[in-house]
Structure 1
Amino acid sequence: MFSERFIQYIKYEKRYSAHTVTAYQSDLDQFMLFLNNPGNADPAPEPEITHPSQISYHHIRNWMVELIDQKMLARSVNRKMATLRKYFKFLLQEGVIETNPASRIQSQKIPKSLPVVVEGDRLTEMLDSDEIFSADFEGRRDKLIIEMLFGTGMRLAELLGVKEQDVNLHDGVVKVLGKRNKERIIPVNTELKNLLKEYIDLKKNQNFDNNSFTLIVTNKGAGAYPAMIYLIVQKYLSNISTQSKRSPHVLRHTFATTLLNKGADLNSIKELLGHANLSATQIYTHNSVERLKSIYKLAHPKA
């Protein structure tokens, strides 16, 4: 159904990240499965779809309705619809179809929610403790994961992609490859720099068979993977937080919120986070406003 050509296009011409390419492929596979699943068909069965030109607005709309009925989050539904819009736009440009059946699909309204964060002071206290993290390779690696996410604000995918050669201990910076393959340089604090040096030395002494140059590795020396990072973050954040959401992205939110509360300007935070535009960064101002409201209620006699 021409999806392979589209995937090659976003992978090699648009240079989307591997994570994004996988998400697009999954969305398209799910849509094609829906189209050819008799159980999802209307009472009057439709002929099997063998060409994209046979797909109409109603097919896409019906899939959207089914996703909503399955209680899928509005953000996830919108992402899948965005995949279809981009896919059919590509087919239109290629001359495969004459009209884009997804162009009329409107995104669902997403309720605004504040970024979930953990208390920066408690997180710092945990990282400074000598009792939480062991001094062996595994303990230093786990601490480095938390320190990197909280100390740089990088995304999970960016952390997994960091190579040893991307770490410049002399200048105190680390290079990451963000969305759309955009590189950015993030400064690291002195404590994190020292921890990086200690970890890299320990990693070399492990004599792993594969000699991986990936910075974060498993106990056997293989490259780290998302589920591993999630488990490690959840394990240590459970020491300081009872909230249900304890993901790597919470540490990214905490990084940005902490900087804003300490007086950093939004443009600087935007560059550190690798946001494409300032509107994505402005969501952190809401947390700061809520914090100010809380302080006002506690401190002002008229509150």
Structure 2
Amino acid sequence: MASNIQPFQDYLVKEKNYSPLTVQAYISDVQAFQIYLNDFHDSLSLEEINYSQVRSWIVVLIENNISATSVNRKISSLKSYYKFLLKTKQISINPLLKHKSLKTAKKVQIPFSEKELQDVFEFNSYSNDFEGIRNQLIIELFYTTGIRRAEMINLTLNNVNTVQKTIKVIGKRNKERIIPLLNCTIELIEAYKHERNHLEHVNQKEMLILSKNGNKVSESFVYRLINEYFSTVSQKTKKSPHVLRHSFATHLLNNGADLNSVKELLGHASLSSTQIYTHSSLAELKKVYQEAHPRNK
């Protein structure tokens, strides 16, 4: 890593409280731009560039079939980097000050249906041992709390309060939120903890969700697990923990929950992030509208 990027990494970790994966993505994007400068602009330093070099990098990325969404993410990383350089007085003008993001097609996330969720709980064969109960609990927690994959993986035993029927979740930027638990989820947690106590080796004793070897589960493991179980009940192309989070929000809204409450449960900073889930509720809204409006009698 170039020495001038290290302070930026420290800033992201210590001041912005970004997750390791987010920090890694930011640093990788800035380093990719430096490599581009080395190859095409006589090793121009990051501090010396102007917007023309950024614009030419964008052209190269597009020519290499990098999607507009990915290009926007890379440029967002650069914007954060140059804001940091400006803040620390290493530059006097931000070269990306007037940059406008590329237009991207809005992707409508398709949630699992309520029937698909019912089927995944009722028709999958979960073994009555540690792994079977743990797998069911992972799906249960995603669907009944709406937590993110990283939040799930980092849950500790101390985060769960079965007396108050809540879990404490550490979200983005280390922001804490409390989410209520359903009785069925609490019963499953208790059953899982009973099996967990019989594991031969537990290396990470504080973590809630463990592998059979007693270690914290990985993000790829959780993704594969969700994909595998939902492949038995759904024909949807994307079957991931995020689709389960999306289903949680959509089903709450479809059944009468207000947007602000869903926002708090999801841990969103603003309503605009939560409003994407209202698109999936449009069919339900149309149905209610048709049934309720006096002019349709």
TM-score in terms of structure 2 length? 0.92
Match of 2:111 among 114, 117, 120: 117
- CA apart distance, 1:28: 1.5
Q: Which runs of 5+ in 2 are unaligned?
A: 291-295
Shift of 1:293: 4.2
Alignment partner of 1:48 out of 26, 43, 53: 43
Report the counterpart of residue 285 of structure 1 in structure 2: 278
> 3-state SS of the aligned residue for 1:58?
helix
1:276 aligns with 2:269: yes
- Which stretch shifts more, 102-111 or 139-148? 102-111
Structure 1: 5+ residue stretches without partners:
none
- The answer as to whether partners of 1:53 and 1:96 remain within 8 angstroms in 2 is yes
CA distance in 2, matches of 1:71, 1:65: 10
Shift of 1:151: 0.9
8 Å contact kept, 2:110–2:280: no
Residues 126 and 132, structure 1, Cα contact 8 Å, conserved in 2: no
Cα displacement string for residues 136-159 of structure 1 (whole angstroms, at most 9, x for unaligned residues) = 111111111111111100011111
Conservation of the 8 A alpha-carbon contact between 1:17 and 1:180:
yes
Matched residue type, 1:24: Y
Letter matched to residue 142 of structure 1: N
1:99 corresponds in structure 2 to: 93
In percent, how many aligned pairs have the same letter? 41
Aligned to 1:165: 158
Structure 1 residue corresponding to 2:245, chosen from 237, 244, 252 = 252
SS in 2 for 1:282: helix
User: Which sits farther off after the overlay, 172-181 or 207-216?
Assistant: 207-216
Separation (CA, whole Å) in 2 of partners of 1:70 and 1:119:
37
Q: Residues of 2 paired with 1:53 and 1:20: CA distance?
A: 23
Could you say what secondary structure the match of 1:254 adopts? helix
In 1, Cα distance between the equivalents of 2:126 and 2:202?
26
Aligned mates of 2:165, 2:247 — CA distance in 1: 21
- TM-score using structure 1 length: 0.90
Look up the SS of the partner of 1:36 in the other structure: helix
Pairing partner for 2:192 from 169, 185, 199: 199
Look up the match of 2:38.
Answer: 36
Cα distance between partner residues in 2 of 1:292 and 1:98: 51
1:165-185 CA-to-partner distances (Å, cap 9, x unmatched) read 101111111111111110000
Distance 1:75 1:217 in 2: 34
Contact map agreement 2:223 2:241 (CA 8 A) in 1: yes
